[in-house]
Amino acid sequence: MTGDARSELLKVRDLTLDYATVDARVRVLQNASLTINKGEIIGIVGESGSGKTTLGLAIIGLLDSPPAEIIDGSIDFEGKDLLKLTYAELSQVRGPGIGMVFQESLAALNPVYRTDTQLKESIDVLRKAQKLEFSDKAELDMMIQILNDLRLDRPEWVLKKYPHELSGGMRQRVSIAMAIVERPKLLILDEVTTGLDVYVQNRILRILKELNRRTGTAMIFITHDLLVASQICDRLYVMYAGRVMEEGITEHVMNTPAHPYTQKLFAAIPQGFVDAPPLPATKGEAPDLRKLPTGCKFNPRCPLAMEKCMKTEPPVFQTEQGSKVLCWLLEKQ
């Protein structure tokens, strides 16, 4: 699935972004690049603080400025650079162009509105954008249809419920419904399965995959759960300290991870039974973006760090399989 220019939907090029606060300026994204083709599902994975959500919010233009400051880069969506659009123009892209579903469904939904009112808000956006007219009946049918597509039982009942009356899995599907009712070309899903049981999680993944096949909606799946990402994504982007450390086809990233960080991430997932040996835990915690080391940002935690890694930050190297990796180990001798 290599990037053919015609099938490219979104291209983020070398996005560099700072959060500037009163007492500090922090680099949150450094030369982050990402491409998504029509109908593709990509995953952005990494630990907390790696810049996954910031990248997602930057794409849809929801970052507050200040503190966010874009230093460099471009975000091309269907030939337009989103960073150069005015607020009004960007509003046109949001919704029917790019939709987003947030992690906390309880916080993302308005607690004083029933499901039907929330969905109507989204339908109104679509109506205004495409100058459509619906009767109340058509609108209701549309809402029921979408909840049905998301495999919610008794959609009529769900429509009359407030967010707190629904279970986590149901709520998450209502927030997905709000996004997809506008028929976006690109859907950004930020940790949508986090905190749900394996069971409900599996179900939501299945629904998303089906939606992707049926409507061709491209998806950016942001998660810290590598296994979940690997189940649904065609390609993975592994982030650390605001950089894309490894990018490649899911099978390659999973089966033959090239970056020591990716290797560590997969090795940390418990697999054996109770008598299994201790997990190969990476020392240290997620990096403090205010005090990043020189050279490769992963070097303090990397078991294979060389002298070079301490001094110079590695450029992008390509593996034989076509993964792109930020690591000196891949430099050809």
Partner 1 sequence: MNNIVEVNNLTVSFIVRGGNLLLFERGGGMMNVVNDVSFNVREGETFGLAGETGSGKSVIAWALVGLMKPRSGSVRVLGKEIDFRKKTDVTYLRRNIGIVFQDPVGSLNPRLRVREIIREGLIAAKTFDRREYDKRIEEVVDLVGLRKSSLEAYPRELSGGEKQRVSLARAIAVPRKMVILDEPTSSLDVSVQAQVLNTLKELKAKLNLSYFFITHDINVMKYMSDSLGILYYGKLLEVGRTYDVVTNPKHPFTVRLMSNVPGLKRTPITETEDRLTEQGSSATGCVYSKVCPRVFEKCSNSPPMLNLGSDHHAACFLHENT
* Site residues for partner 1 per CB under 8 A: 47-48, 151, 153, 167-169, 195-203, 205-206, 209-210, 213, 224, 226-228, 230-232, 250-251, 254-255, 264-266, 268-274, 276, 278-282, 285-286
**The tokens 């997809």 sit on which residue?**
180
Question: What are the tokens at 54?
Answer: 């910031």
Angle (deg, nearest 10), helices 136-149 and 168-180? 130
Q: Please, which residue, 123 or 244, has the CB nearer to partner 1?
A: 244
**Rounded to an integer, what is the distance from CA 170 to the centroid of its chain?**
21
* The total number of residues written for the chain in this structure: 333
Query: For residues 139 and 157, what is the distance between their CA atoms, to the nearest angstrom?
Result: 16
Q: Please, which residue, 20 or 269, has the CB nearer to partner 1?
A: 269
Residue type, position 242, single letter: G
Q: Please, which residue, 13 or 114, has the CB nearer to partner 1?
A: 114
Query: For residues 18 and 134, what is the distance between their CA atoms, to the nearest angstrom?
Result: 44
Q: Please, which residue, 82 or 246, has the CB nearer to partner 1?
A: 246
Query: For residues 201 and 283, what is the distance between their CA atoms, to the nearest angstrom?
Result: 30
Q: Please, which residue, 62 or 207, has the CB nearer to partner 1?
A: 207
Residue 218 three-state SS: strand
Q: Please, which residue, 170 or 309, has the CB nearer to partner 1?
A: 170
CB of 201 to partner 1, least distance (A): 8
Residue type, position 280, single letter: P
Q: Please, which residue, 77 or 237, has the CB nearer to partner 1?
A: 237
Pairing of strands 218-223, 41-45: parallel
- Quickly count: other Cβ atoms within 10 Å of residue 194's Cβ: 15
Q: Which strand (E) or helix (H) includes residue 41?
A: strand 41-45
Contacts of 58 (CB under 8 A, 6+ apart): 12, 15, 17, 29, 68, 70, 75
Q: Please, which residue, 2 or 48, has the CB nearer to partner 1?
A: 48
Q: Which residues, listed in sequence order, are joined to residue 160 by a DSSP beta bridge? A: none
CB of 185 to partner 1, least distance (A): 20
CB of 159 to partner 1, least distance (A): 17
Question: What are the tokens at 131?
Answer: 């100058």
CB of 190 to partner 1, least distance (A): 16
CB of 312 to partner 1, least distance (A): 25
CB of 246 to partner 1, least distance (A): 15
Question: What are the tokens at 242?
Answer: 């605001």
